[in-house]
Structure 1
Amino acid sequence: MYSQINKNISRYVSFDQQELEIFNSLLEFKSVPKKTMLLQGGEMCNFEAFVVKGCVRKYYIDANGFEVILQFAIENAWVSDISFSIYEDKPSRVFIETLEDCEFFMFSPESKEKLFSKAPQFERAFRILMQRSLAVTQDRLFHTISKTATDKYTEFLLQYPALPQRVAQHYIASYLGISAEFLSKIRNKIAKY
């Protein structure tokens, strides 16, 4: 049951069986149906979730009332509002919604602190995960600013090859920062090559 998350968390740090058992004992397994809001803007985020199965979107609503997708979290990804709600102890500015029926392993900030005190190696593992997340976010920002829409879509397909079959086109357009109509033109242009 825990092999998927244990493999994910062990990518950068080696753990013994006892440490993994402590980690697993603090996790809560949840099955969540499609179109469920895990977090609403204005709420406090009190979880970090590992996606075992399914697809989630994290987004905010801009000044014009448009949804702007910040992240798609699919199998083996983590999703939360750790940067603002958990660490800053302020209400979240993001929404987290399931786009498919999902299965998660979740834990609270309190469970995470228990984990760090009982198995200190996990603090290093989560620090590395946080650093990698920051690098991905910075890379996404760079691409958003410097790449053409076609380049952004091509790189999106390399990163998420199966996602266009799993989520609506307007969600992908929102993630890329373009209109759904413009994305349709890009897709048609790519299909002709």
Structure 2
Amino acid sequence: MRAIIDLFGYLILAGGTFVGLTSGSVTLVVLSLFGGPVLLGLGHLIGIAENVQARLLNLAPTPDTVRSLIKNAPAYVVDGSDIGVAVYPSADAPYKWIELNGEVYVRSRALRNYIESVDNRYSFALPDRETVVLRASDRYSDGVPLFWSEGHVYVMLSAIGLSGIRENDRISLRTIRQTGEGNDR
């Protein structure tokens, strides 16, 4: 719904202004410059209301909310050298720090050197650790260990026995527990 309102807001703003200027209609230009932003603001208010409702009812975030959280998440350099994990493509690669319902997620690309995937199953074989196998969900839901969003896979660090500690502009990966071999979550 928000996408449709935003689309019409931009169409009215740009298209109406253009048509008004080319036809010489001052009224159309004024209405377009007023109506377009009103629709865009309405779409923004609907988004805020959806987020408030979801929080009050303890609902899982919508796919739009998850995309927004990922887009606006801070990026940090991920460092796994303390536990022997080499971050892909280099030790200075920044990745988004995504917190959803109290869990930390990071893009699985950071651990690319230790992942094998078949269909929607991802095997994480971190150094000196037993392999953890997780099934990827096509979208985020509360507690899902691995999910897709906008063509990227995000993994819950605790699901693969890791945690992240923020230190200034870096995230240091830490081991939190040994996981059982062949886990299938």
So what's the TM-score if we normalise by structure 2? 0.30
Which of structures 1 and 2 has the bigger CA Rg? 2
Q: Give the structure with the higher percent helix.
A: 1
**Quick one: higher RCO (CA 8 Å, sep 6+), 1 or 2?**
1
Normalised by the length of structure 1, the TM-score is 0.29
- Structure holding more strand per residue: 2
